[in-house]
């Protein structure tokens, strides 16, 4: 993930040691990671959204882009959210002008819900966040 410009969470969070989580990776015939995704349940049992699982951190190796691996790893992460994490619903965030990611997400059967608004405040730095 970091190799492709995505600032990931800690290893403990990615491994599900902090909150329930699943991190997936696809490898090529040489054993090199070519795509990754992550899903976690960020909210505790007291939240009205406690059954909502976040899916994100989708990364595809540059030489593998355009082959459908983003769609595949995203679909696998959504499936793991329901099957492994027992999600009631899944939420994925993508920047409004990121049409490639939006098409990938929609190809997995997810749809924009205009009732959900999200914002992110960050210091002015040259770090890429995936939301």
pLDDT score, position 5 = 60
Task: Tell me the two tokens of residue 67.
Answer: 């082959």
pLDDT score, position 76 = 97
Q: Domain 2-107 is classified in which CATH homologous superfamily?
A: Gcn5-related N-acetyltransferase (GNAT) (3.40.630.30)
pTM: 0.83
CA separation for the pair 115, 28 (Å, rounded): 39
Cβ–Cβ under 8 Å, residues 110 and 92? yes
| Secondary structure percentages of the chain, helix, strand, coil, to 5 | 25, 20, 55
Task: Tell me the two tokens of residue 109.
Answer: 């059967």
117 vs 19, more confident: 19
CA separation for the pair 70, 36 (Å, rounded): 8
What is the chain's mean pLDDT, rounded? 86
CA separation for the pair 72, 36 (Å, rounded): 10
| Residue range 67-92, pLDDT digits in tens | 999 999 999 999 999 999 999 999 99
State mean pLDDT over 11-25.
91
Domains of the chain by residue range:
2-107
3-state secondary structure of 50: coil
- The DSSP H or E segment spanning 83 is helix 69-83
Q: Residue 103: pLDDT above 70?
A: yes
Q: What confidence tier does 131 reach under pLDDT thresholds 50, 70, 90?
A: very low
């Amino acid at each position: 993930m970091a190799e492709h410009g995505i600032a990931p969470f800690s290893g403990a969070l990615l491994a599900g040691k902090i909150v329930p989580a699943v991190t997936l990776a696809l490898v090529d015939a040489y054993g090199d990671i070519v795509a990754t995704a992550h899903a976690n349940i960020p909210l505790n049992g007291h939240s009205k959204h406690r059954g909502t699982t976040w899916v994100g951190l989708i990364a595809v190796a540059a030489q593998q882009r355009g082959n459908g691996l983003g769609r595949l790893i995203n679909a696998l992460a959504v499936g793991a959210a329901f099957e492994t994490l027992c999600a009631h619903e899944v939420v994925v965030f993508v920047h409004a002008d990121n049409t490639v990611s939006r098409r990938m997400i929609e190809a997995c059967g997810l749809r924009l819900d205009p009732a959900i608004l999200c914002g992110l405040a960050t210091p002015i730095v040259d770090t890429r966040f995936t939301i």
